[in-house]
Structure formats: structure tokens, C-alpha cells
Amino acid sequence: MNRPLIFLGTTNLDIVFYSHSLPTVGQSLMGTIEEFGGGKGANQAVAAARLGAAPHFATLLGEDDAAETLIKFMASSGVQTGKFGRKPGVASGRSIIFVSSEGSNMIGIDAGANEFFGPDDVKKALDGIPQTAVMVVEMGLPVAACRAAFEMKADRFLIFNPAPVRAQLTDADCKAIDILTPNETEAEELTGITIDSPTTAFEAAKLLHDRGIKAVAITLGGEGVVYLDAEKSIHQSAYQVDVVDTTAAGDAFNSGLAVAITRNMPIEDALSFAVATASVSVTRKGAQQSMPTEKEVRAFLAKEGAA
């Protein structure tokens, strides 16, 4: 039987500018603009729903037209919306994203209602969520909310995505985390180790593990992911795809990993499934709209000979 799944995180309206290259200071670029549903937590929840889970999602939105659009899309994707909150007099979060023809991006975020998500909201979110659940928390939320989630996790399985890094992890934080999922930049911020290869990523993972985190999975873009726990060190290579837009690739990975864990997959299979989820997502535009279904991920893995 699959374990319950809940995401605690941010929701944004993504305003995406596509152009040949990323801008430099003082440069004007021609391109096209599109709008998508975004926010790390929302992206992860939608991805999980498309992968066949029925995830709960706790988030705060404003009282504006953007909120109505975002809620409608998440609900239609299969996300359970009963733990959504609204903040009167405040706009929903928004992101401005520049995407180059090679798929690389630059992101600016106006947190909006997300910045008001606090410990009381965490308590409401976890009310009625079984101790067998997998919970995924991201650091786009205020630090006080993240730490409240750590304190209230009890026996639930906690995946923490420290993106963006808003504070260093305390020893108490580390002991609460079952899997930490930074990218290479975030891992550098948390450890001070310059990550330029899987070898140095393993060094950073070991340092974080030695601080009390049960397992660390550092995503490395085209180099895949390195994973370390008390018993295993795994380098899951990336799959080669034609990249269109890397926005939310990390969210796709986190969601794929969380869904795999709810299904009690061995960690090797869970990492492969998560990397495949991210690989398919980057071949499409947008964040939530780019997330693949489980059937698509399985077909991709079969094509790669990894099913």
C-alpha cells in the first residue's frame, strides 16, 4: 500500500521570457513571454499528482485573479486543495524567469503571500496527516515555517529541499531530515565545499551526513545525482535529452523521489525514477505544465533500458 504524501511549499505565477540568450547588464532582448503555474511546492505537488499520487499540498495564496488560475490548474491536475490558505490584502507569489535557447535560466521571485506561511500554517497542514506519510518541505517558505515542520514531523518521513538557501542548518535541523536534496550550488552554500564533480559532491554529502542528516541526494544537472547514506554511496548518471527549459527540473526530481519512496522502491530505483522524471520535464516549456505522467516516465526508462 502506498504511503500518504504531503508537500508544504510555495505557489507562484511564473512569467517566463524566452530569448536566444540570457540578458547581461544594460542589454535589451527580443523574445516571447508566456505565463505558467509555478512555485517550488506547487510544481512538486503537480508533478506528484501526474505521477499517479494523490498529494496533499499546503500553501498560501493571495486574494487575486492569479490565485484563482493557480488553484484551478492544481485541482485539475489532481492535487488535493483542502489545505490551501488565502491571505487577505496580499498578492499571490510571482516569478520572472528568463530562459535561453539552450534551456538555462535566471529567476527573480516576489514571494507575496508565500512569505506569510508560518508555524500555525504548518500545524494546520499536518493535522490529520498520518505518521506513515512522506512530507516534502522546501526552503522557499520562511525559515520559521521550515523549522516548525522539522519539529512537528514526528514519525513522518521528511524530504527537505533547501532551495533557495535562506539559513544555515542547525544540528537540530539536520537530525530531523531523512533526505536532503540540494543542487550543487545549494550544497556549496551549506558546506563551503566547491562542487565541480561527483567526487566533490560526495565530499559535501558526507559532511552533511556527518552532521546528522540521514541521507543526502545532491543533484548535478548533466552529471545526474549523487546519493549518500549510512550504508550506500550511489552516483545515478543523467539521461541525455534535448533540453528546452530547465525551469523546475529540481522540483521534478524531488517529486519523483518522493513518489518513489511512498511506493517503497529501493533507493537505486527511486533515484533512477526521479532523474527520469526530471529528464522528461526539461524537454518541455514551463514548470507545472512540463511535468510528465507516470506512463511517460516508464516509457522513457524503458527506452533508456533502465525500466
Interhelix angle 267-281/249-262, rounded to 10 degrees, is 150
Query: Reduced to 3 DSSP states, what percent helix, strand and coil does the chain have, rounded to the nearest 5?
Result: 40, 25, 40
Cell triple for 264: 517503497
| Nearest-angstrom CA–CA distance, 26 and 254 | 36
| Nearest-angstrom CA–CA distance, 46 and 39 | 11
Report the chain's terminal Cα–Cα distance, integer Å.
21
| Nearest-angstrom CA–CA distance, 175 and 214 | 7
Strand-pair partners of 105? 99
3 secondary structure, DSSP code: P
For this structure, is 178 an active site residue?
Answer: no
Residues in contact with 60: Cβ distance below 8 Å, sequence separation at least 6, in sequence order: 11, 84, 85, 86, 87, 113, 114, 116, 117, 121
Contact 277, 252 (CB under 8 A): yes
From residue 37, alpha-carbon distances to 129, 144, 217, 227, 253 in Å are 26, 25, 26, 30, 17
Q: Which stretch of DSSP H or E encloses residue 234? A: strand 233-236
3-class SS letters over 62-110: ECCHHHHHHHHHHHHHCCECCCEEEECCCCCEEEEEEECCCCCEEEEEE
The catalytic position among 121, 155, 251, 269 is 251
Q: Which residues are catalytic?
A: 251
